Amino acid sequence: MTSRFVDRAIIHLAAGNGGNGCASVHREKFKPLGGPDGGNGGSGGDVRLVVDHSVHTLLDFHFRPHAKGGNGKPGQGGNRNGAAGDSLELKVPEGTVVLTPDGEVLADLVGAGTTFVAAEGGRGGLGNAALASRARKAPGFALLGEEGQARDLVLELRSVADVGLVGFPSAGKSSLISVLSAAKPKIADYPFTTLVPNLGVITAGDTVFTMADVPGLIPGASQGKGLGLDFLRHIERCAVLVHVVDCATFEPDRDPVSDVDALEDELARYTPALGDDLAQRPRVVVLNKMDVPDAAELAEMVRPEFEARGLRVFEVSTATRQGLRELTFALGEIVEKYRSEQPAPTATKIVLTPRAVDDAGFTVEPDPEEPGGFIVRGARPERWIRQTDFGNDEAVGYLGDRLNRLGVEDALARHGAEPGSTVTIGDYTFDWEPSTPAGVAIHLSGRGTDSRLERGDRVSAAERKEARRVRRDGPQESSGAGSEVDGGPSSGVEPPESGELSEPGADGARE
């Protein structure tokens, strides 16, 4: 039977894209020069991870690893903004740790309702109504919406338990948690019966704590042998570790002391991802299966050695329930002491980090792949590039003004850039041409155009119209020098043919 417990999953998230802004001009009868009225695009929806106590496993992410937020709607005319995309909330169990594929811890989700924005939605583009200014009163362009963040994340479930049971396979850990709590783990007389961690709630007087039964460990578990590497992370949060030792084992090369030493060596080799040191956690040794006569004799022999190490030793039997009450209250006492030593939880402080005085918000560095080229890196320049419609000359001119005001052109000049140098910002590479200095009045042209992008070799609209007329009617014949009438040059109007009268007022009244 396949286990339904999944404590590790790789998910592929994509937040929603922002909607594009709208470039629109208000048109209404008897209202000339209505002005721009294009609305802004809606923001894309986020993908969030939310802790929910009703979820106990990462099984859903194992079968459905892909998730995407809703896209924002584009803006419309009449100052109508686009609707924001729907955010997607993914429910995760308490104790989920969010990591990058490289192993960097991004968040430790503990506590009902704890939320982590795993993928942030893209910003919506501004409409031309929001881009209007004193110098550019009717922009013929709008900004594009940004793409949502896409990333791959690793989710690992680390059980939130106060007591962790560790031991060799078939040491009696599952039997112990089954008699101390209401948990019903699988119990059998062969090794590795427990394949998934089991949690149980235990009451000791006024103290209530949880216990985790971790699958059996063997030497080399910290290097991936057996099942230990997959489940050692479940004891990272435990306040106390309990060594469950089988005193009735029939293996000749094993004894309680060597078993504890082997497990301690594996715990020392394991590096918790949360940064805690397992060596500082209190230990308790439980000598199990005291109902077997040989086990009781062995316990009397090894008990003094464990006590000499400063470890508390309890002799128990899950069959006869010998020593369980003393063990329960001792564990409750240790857990209560651990909780009292922890610092009181404080509200999360909002830290505002001011920008450094010498931080320009971008950097300029030589392009290693393009001789004489440069790469501009920075959050704002790269975002502006993504928001620009390069099919609209006025939008490209607006981008140049923004980069100039930010100081990109001055920085390129200081690094030795010359007109025509290759400059890369984000995913776009272009030839750099210095524009007018920042602050100089912008000479506006038609909507959707920019006079600075016009070149002498570009064909104008009038020239294209004349070329179409020539292709259709042929070249217009010249009338030569023309004859002078009344001392003036020929007007280019042919005289009427004989017998044809001109209408009064067409060429002036004839006397």
CATH number at residue 407: 3.30.300.350
The band of 48, judged by pLDDT with boundaries at 50, 70 and 90, is very high
Is 211 labelled as part of a ligand binding site? no
How many structural domains does the chain have? 3
| Spatial separation of the C-alpha atoms in residues 14 and 12, rounded to whole Å | 7
pLDDT, tens digit, 9 for 90 and up, residues 375-391: 999 989 999 999 999 88
Asked if 34 and 128 count as a contact pair (C-beta separation under 8 A), the reply is no
Report whether 449 belongs to an annotated binding site.
no
In a domain, 51, yes or no: yes
Report if residue 508 sits inside a domain: no
More confident residue, 302 or 502: 302
pLDDT at residue 334 is higher than 60 = yes
319 is in an annotated binding site: yes
- Residue 213 annotated as part of some ligand binding site: yes
Q: Per the annotation, does 119 bind a ligand?
A: no
63 is in an annotated binding site: no
Q: Is 411 annotated as a binding residue?
A: no
CA 489 to CA 47: how far, in whole Å?
78
| 291 is known to lie in a ligand binding site | yes
Annotated ligand binding at 301? The verdict is no
Task: Of 144-153, 205-214, 315-324, 330-339, give the range with the top mean pLDDT.
Answer: 144-153
In tens, the pLDDT along 288-313 reads 888 887 888 888 888 888 888 888 88
231 is in an annotated binding site: no
Residue closest to 120 by CA, chosen among 34, 204, 43, 219: 43
Co-location of 172 and 319 in the same domain: yes
**Is 171 annotated in some ligand binding site?**
yes
Question: Could you tell me if 39 and 120 lie in one domain?
Answer: yes
pLDDT band at 44 (very low <50, low <70, confident <90, very high): very high
Residues 178 and 192 in one domain: yes
User: For strand 240-246 and strand 105-109, is the pairing parallel, antiparallel, or unpaired?
Assistant: unpaired
Does 167 carry a binding-site annotation? yes
3-state DSSP assignment of residue 313: strand
The length of the chain, given as a count of residues? 511
Q: Which of 119, 139, 157 is the last residue of a domain?
A: 157
pLDDT band with cut points at 50, 70 and 90 for residue 24:
very high
Residue 168 in marked binding region: yes
184 and 291 both lie in a single domain: yes
**Does 307 share its domain with 167?**
yes
* Ranges 246-250, 272-276, 355-359, most confident: 246-250
Domain check: are 42 and 130 in the same one?
yes
**SS3 state at 169:** coil
Residue 69: domain span: 8-157
Last residue of a domain, one of 157, 173, 193: 157
Task: Tell me if residue 483 falls in helix, strand or coil.
Answer: coil
The CA distance from 92 to 77, in Å, is 41
What is each CA distance from 173 to 213, 242, 412, 467, in whole angstroms? 6, 10, 68, 91
pLDDT level of residue 491 (50, 70, 90 thresholds): very low
290 is in an annotated binding site: yes
Query: 47, 43, 62: which is closest to 115 by C-alpha?
Result: 47
Q: Is 174 annotated as a binding residue?
A: yes
Residue matched to tokens 């790469």: 375
Looking at the fold, whether 152 and 169 belong to one and the same domain comes out as no
Is 170 annotated as contributing to ligand binding?
yes
Confidence at residue 476, expressed as pLDDT on a 0 to 100 scale: 65
* pLDDT of 146 higher than 90: yes
Q: Tokens 């990058």 belong to which residue? A: 100
